[in-house]
């Protein structure tokens, strides 16, 4: 006989209810004992912590009295109904609630018991086994007792018989089984009535719930399925809409937070109350080359920086913003302005700290460069100004020098005034080149013609020193894209330097060659050369290899720095090669003109 849909629903609901109740009972049979065991272990842990505070004063005494400790153990046992054992730091039992004082010495050493070892290592420990003293299965929970300096004074151990857990479990399982039977019998009439109402709408609501569980919030349950089912359908629809709205808000907030942290130029580190890393943003990973596995590690493991650890501990302790400049040593020394602030939970307790790293390495370098630059400029200006002032004061003296001497003084004043003018002009050139957008008029310029005009200007200076200048740039060589005035300045500074430092009878060569889309230009000489330790700094402002000789030759110390800034502004490169006593070669690159 074929059953109607109503009876199918009824039988199905009855079977479903029976299966559910059976599953509940089966689940309780499997989950209740472990749950109770864990609950009792947690309760014993709290009891052990309380007992630790009770016995700590006794164990911290200079000469702990075994009789008093054992008596106190018996008292605590009577009040709590638990077995209490007090173990000295060497493992000997000095208090046992189930053993009188006279028999304590007969108990074996407990130092190597699992729960005792775990307590000594981690502060608390637990184990389950049969007691050889009272021949009963027990659960042990031990807690280490330490003094203010962390020294182990002893171990307090609490134990409970496991037969109590079995009795409690049996009573709970019996009560659940009886309640399940009552529910099953009482639900039969209701299930029969319900089967008549829910055969259609319930399927649609089931489909709707399934789709919502899969993340599809667009479906809706039918709200005209009767008073109860209609209300349920309406509630499901409202729940679906609210879930969709909340999830959208959470996703949006999460995306905003991730985007904010990822796009911050500062590194961000979040640690919990124990100093374990909880979050690291992308900038901080890049700054310190941190691996993905850095989360959940300590700050010392990740950064190896004691001041940072102390700073975070201070922020966690004082709940105020702490700011310091910290130096980190890696492949290169880095300086960070670090701010650490405590994160307070809803209960006002410090839940961790957020640390922001602002990289000020470049700022520090620029500050040092600025200080050095100001000092160098002051020194360079002071020397000619002092000379000019001295000679002017001599000329204004009441006893004026004769005309020949006066003309000689004026000549010296003129020479140093020209030096000041040249120094200021070079400073203005560097300032213009260092501006955000140096004004360059890029056109096709002939290298050979530009270098040739510079050689003509310096020909007299070269003849006076008996230095030959050879222009070895091939005529067919392509033109370059450059500012003609700035390129003239580059060649003038390089060739003039080469003539100055080349001894009499020496030779200066100006060459160029193509290298793909670039042209590599070179000004070389056979002068005294540059030592390896000076070569990396040769393009710095005011840096001189031989300071005395440089000033004697009238240099400002800015020529090569100007060359560097002009070439970099053109998008090229500049470098030098040299060997002591074998001469020097200065190279720069420019793009070929199209």
Q: What are the angstrom distances between the C-alpha of 1 and each of 7, 12, 148, 193, 311?
A: 12, 17, 82, 22, 82
The answer to whether position 195 is within a domain reads no
Phi and psi, residue 193, nearest 5°: -70, -40
Band of residue 575 on the pLDDT scale cut at 50, 70, 90: very high
Q: What is the tally of helices (H) and strands (E) in the chain? A: 16, 17
Neighbours of 296 (CB within 10 A): 10
Most confident of 23-37, 339-353, 383-397, 462-476: 462-476
Task: Please give the model's pTM, rounded to 2 decimal places.
Answer: 0.40
Residues 220 and 336 in one domain: no
The answer to whether position 111 is within a domain reads yes
Residues 336 and 385 in one domain: no
- Tokens in use for 108? 């074996």
Residues 31 and 132 in one domain: yes
Residues 373 and 349 in one domain: no
The answer to whether position 193 is within a domain reads no
CATH number at residue 397: 1.10.287.130
- Degrees to nearest 5, angle at CA 152 with 151 and 154: 150
- Tokens in use for 75? 């008292």
pLDDT for 203:
62
Q: What are the angstrom distances between the C-alpha of 548 and each of 254, 361, 555, 556, 581?
A: 64, 33, 10, 12, 19
Query: Which range, of 191-195, 275-279, 284-288, averages the lowest pLDDT?
Result: 191-195
pLDDT for 547:
47
Residues 340 and 398 in one domain: no
The answer to whether position 258 is within a domain reads no
CATH number at residue 327: 3.30.450.20
Residues 87 and 209 in one domain: no
The answer to whether position 256 is within a domain reads no
Per-chain mean pLDDT for the chain: 79
The answer to whether position 101 is within a domain reads yes
pLDDT for 505:
86
DSSP state, residue 298 = B
Neighbours of 402 (CB within 10 A): 8
CATH number at residue 468: 3.30.565.10
Residue that is last in its domain, among 433, 460, 493: 433
Residues 34 and 160 in one domain: yes
Query: What is the domain range of residue 333?
Result: 264-359
Residues 393 and 342 in one domain: no
- Degrees to nearest 5, angle at CA 582 with 461 and 456: 20
pLDDT for 247:
79
Which is nearest to 98 in space by CA: 113, 78, 83, 119?
A: 83
The answer to whether position 57 is within a domain reads yes
Rg of the chain over Cα atoms, rounded to whole angstroms, equals 45
Residues 323 and 395 in one domain: no
Residue that is last in its domain, among 315, 334, 359: 359
Residues 334 and 447 in one domain: no
Q: Is the pLDDT of residue 522 over 90?
A: yes
Residues 371 and 410 in one domain: yes
Number of domains in the chain: 5
The answer to whether position 493 is within a domain reads yes
Residues 26 and 117 in one domain: yes
Residue that is last in its domain, among 383, 413, 433: 433
Band of residue 172 on the pLDDT scale cut at 50, 70, 90: confident
């Amino acid at each position: 006989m074929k059953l109607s849909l109503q009876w199918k629903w009824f039988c199905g609901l009855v079977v479903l209810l029976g299966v559910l109740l059976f599953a509940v009972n089966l689940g309780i049979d499997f989950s209740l004992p472990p749950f109770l065991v864990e609950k009792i272990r947690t309760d014993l842990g709290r009891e052990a912590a309380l007992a630790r505070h009770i016995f700590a004063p006794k164990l911290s005494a200079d000469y702990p009295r075994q009789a008093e400790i054992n008596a106190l153990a018996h008292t605590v046992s009577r009040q709590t109904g638990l077995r209490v054992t007090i173990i000295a730091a060497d493992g000997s039992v000095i208090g046992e609630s189930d053993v009188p004082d006279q028999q304590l010495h007969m108990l074996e050493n407990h130092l190597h018991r699992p729960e005792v070892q775990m307590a000594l290592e981690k502060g608390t420990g637990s184990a389950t086994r049969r007691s050889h003293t009272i021949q009963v299965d027990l659960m042990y929970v031990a807690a280490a007792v330490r003094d203010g300096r962390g020294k182990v004074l002893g171990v307090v151990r609490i134990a409970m018989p496991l037969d109590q857990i079995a009795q409690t479990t049996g009573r709970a399982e019996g009560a659940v089984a009886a309640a399940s039977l009552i529910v099953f019998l009482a639900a039969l009439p209701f299930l029969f009535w319900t089967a008549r109402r829910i055969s259609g709408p319930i399927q649609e609501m089931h489909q709707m719930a399934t789709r919502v569980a899969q993340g599809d919030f667009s479906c809706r349950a039918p709200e005209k399925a009767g008073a109860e089912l209609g209300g349920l359908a309406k509630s499901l629809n409202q729940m679906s809409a609210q879930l969709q709205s909340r999830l959208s808000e959470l996703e949006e907030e999460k995306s905003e937070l991730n985007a904010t942290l990822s796009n911050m130029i500062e590194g961000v580190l979040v640690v919990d109350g124990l100093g374990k890393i909880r979050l690291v943003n992308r900038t901080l990973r890049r700054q310190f080359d941190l691996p993905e596995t850095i989360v959940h590690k300590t700050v010392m493991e990740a950064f190896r920086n004691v001041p940072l650890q102390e700073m975070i501990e201070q922020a966690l302790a004082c709940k105020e913003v702490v700011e310091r400049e910290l130096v980190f040593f890696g492949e290169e020394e880095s300086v960070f302005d670090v701010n650490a602030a405590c994160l307070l939970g809803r209960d006002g307790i410090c839940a961790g700290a957020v640390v922001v790293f602002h990289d000020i390495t470049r700022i520090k370098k620029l500050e040092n460069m600025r200080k050095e630059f100001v000092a160098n400029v002051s020194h360079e200006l002071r020397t000619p100004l002092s000379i000019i002032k001295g000679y002017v004061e001599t000329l204004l003296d009441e006893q004026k020098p004769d005309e020949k001497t006066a003309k000689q003084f004026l000549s010296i004043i003129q020479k140093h005034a020209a030096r000041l003018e040249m120094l200021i002009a070079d400073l203005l050139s560097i300032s213009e080149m260092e501006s955000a957008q140096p004004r360059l008029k890029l056109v096709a310029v002939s290298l050979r013609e530009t270098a040739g005009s510079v050689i003509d200007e310096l020909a007299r200076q070269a003849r006076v020193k008996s230095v030959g200048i050879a222009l070895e740039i091939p005529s067919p060589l392509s033109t370059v894209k450059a500012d003609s005035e700035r390129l003239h300045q580059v060649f003038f500074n390089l060739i003039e330097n080469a003539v100055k430092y080349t001894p009499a009878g020496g030779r200066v060569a100006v060459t160029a060659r193509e290298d793909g889309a670039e042209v590599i230009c070179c000004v070389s000489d056979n002068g005294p050369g540059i030592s390896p330790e000076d070569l990396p700094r040769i393009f710095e402002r005011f840096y001189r290899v031989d300071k005395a000789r440089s000033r004697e030759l009238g240099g400002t110390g800015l020529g090569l720095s100007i060359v560097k800034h002009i070439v970099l502004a053109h998008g090229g490169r500049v470098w030098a090669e040299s060997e002591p006593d074998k001469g020097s070669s200065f190279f720069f690159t420019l793009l070929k003109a199209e």
